[in-house]
Amino acid sequence: MSINRTQVDVESLVDVRNGIQAKKIFWDQEIYDLEIEQIFGKCWQFLTHDSLIPNPGDFTTGFMAEDEVFVMRQDDGSVKAFLNVCSHRGARLVAAEAGNARAFSCPYHGWSYSMDGALKVVPMEKELYRGALDKSQFGLREIRVESYRGLYYGNLDPQAPSLSDYLGDVKFYLDIWMEVNGGIELVGPPSRSLLNCNWKTPAENFVGDAYHVGWTHVASLMALGGELSSIGGMEAPPNEGLGMQVTSRFGHGFGVLWDTAPAVHAIGSDAGKLYREWFASRRPKMVEKLGAQVGRIYGSHLNGTIFPNNSYLLGTNSFKLWVPRGPHQIEVFTWTIVEKEMPSELKNAIVTGMNSTFGTAGMLESDDSDNMESMTQNNRGRATREGKLNSQLGLGFDKLDSVFPGVIGQSAIGETSYRGFYRAYKEILGADNWQTILDLDPDAWKRELTGQ
Ligand code: FES
Ligand SMILES: [Fe+2]
């Protein structure tokens, strides 16, 4: 049990039934320290995708919160992940962002490790250690890794549920986009940028904020044209039929905007033209396979977050990791997500379209970044951070559905998945361990959110 658990009154941070959170969750160091231990120490975090490490020896480096890690394809095709730190004096072992190697030598004193993390070579071992070093005890620290549709996630907690159980209800929806012929792939290397915001500000925005789209992004939507430009300026409330929101037991959630998948790939651009043709040819097959109601998800726009810090836009083709760098800063990693069977001409056009919208200097990314930073930085004021955050949009109208799993918000413009995100946030932040969470009634979270 850490000191932090006694310093933070977790119960006071989130009022699930009333859709309220304490503003200091975006600021306080004690809360951040507890998140690192309880959330990033226990939850699955995105590492890499099959397409980025296709061959034995291929590796990528990255982060699980503030822990540096690397992920490597083994000779037998399996994937292992390790803390990226030498077992001798703790220097960073792998400096490259990606590459192919058979072994790694530490830049400090030259200790060398094989692909599976074993310590193999210690310079002048015989002469200097004279048999006193037990190399078998000083391999790299291996991290638990599991994959879903080629996406690899790591977990620092051996007690955590499987990745599949952790993803739970959202797999139903992700499969509609990812279980396509050939599957999906990520195009790397990721672009990287720093934002002076708390990691939860973009995570909550992506999990379920269609409300801001017509306002924050009005200029961008008007410039791009396309399916979403009609809500630019928020002059009229959208029809109830605009879309829906979904949330799930461990906080993963998303919003759906019906029939708008290519919306931010400009109508006049190569990406926009080719992508609209792609959906016109593929969607009818999905409807045939899944039925009209479920098949409609493919070709609709999804904005989502896999709790805690992995977000995606399906349609816009952005795949994000918000890596915390203290309570007031993140490093953003952005990949482009495409379908493997897309012709290279379309993939290239989508990469260009994604980068001009949600890449580091993308027009919509820039719109959002200002909000993320101000939501964080204005908590510098002592009185300000004692305040509350409101996520009551759609409260009282969340329901269960016979076709769609999870708790469903009936309008795309709602805060259902915010409430689900912070319900899970509180539960995981305050739990002794995973078992205490898994021992709860598996439907209790639904009653908590729907009030039924
Ligand atoms: S710190 Fe790596 S070899 Fe010494
Ligand atoms: Fe946005």
Q: Is 106 in the pocket of ligand 1 (CB under 6 A)?
A: yes
Structure token digits, residue 128 = 């200097």
End-to-end distance of the chain based on CA atoms, in angstroms?
35
| Whole-number Å distance between alpha carbons of 304 and 213 | 14
pLDDT value for 267: 87
Nearest CA owner, ligand 1 atom 1 = 89
DSSP string of 296-324? TTBTBEEEEEETTTEEEEETTTEEEEEEE
- The residue among 315, 202, 201 whose CA lies nearest residue 257 is 315
* 237 Cβ contact partners less than 8 Å away, ≥ 6 residues apart: 413
| Whole-number Å distance between alpha carbons of 298 and 173 | 9
DSSP state of 386: G
Q: Check if the beta carbon of residue 205 is closer than 8 Å to that of residue 212.
A: yes
Q: Give me the residues of the chain with pLDDT under 70, please.
A: 1-6, 234-240
| Whole-number Å distance between alpha carbons of 385 and 381 | 6
Kindly name the residue from 33, 116, 175, 212 that is annotated as catalytic.
212
Kindly name the residue from 109, 370, 432, 443 that is annotated as catalytic.
109
Q: Is 89 in the pocket of ligand 1 (CB under 6 A)?
A: yes
- Report angle CA 200, 205, 211 to the nearest 5 degrees: 150
pLDDT value for 1: 44
At which residue do the structure tokens 């309570």 appear?
327
To the query of whether residue 212 is one of the catalytic residues in this protein, the response is yes
Task: For residue range 318-367, list pLDDT tens digits in order.
Answer: 999 999 999 999 999 999 999 999 999 999 999 999 999 999 889 999 99
| Whole-number Å distance between alpha carbons of 108 and 386 | 47
- H/E stretch holding 189: strand 184-195
- Rg of the chain on CA atoms, in Å: 23
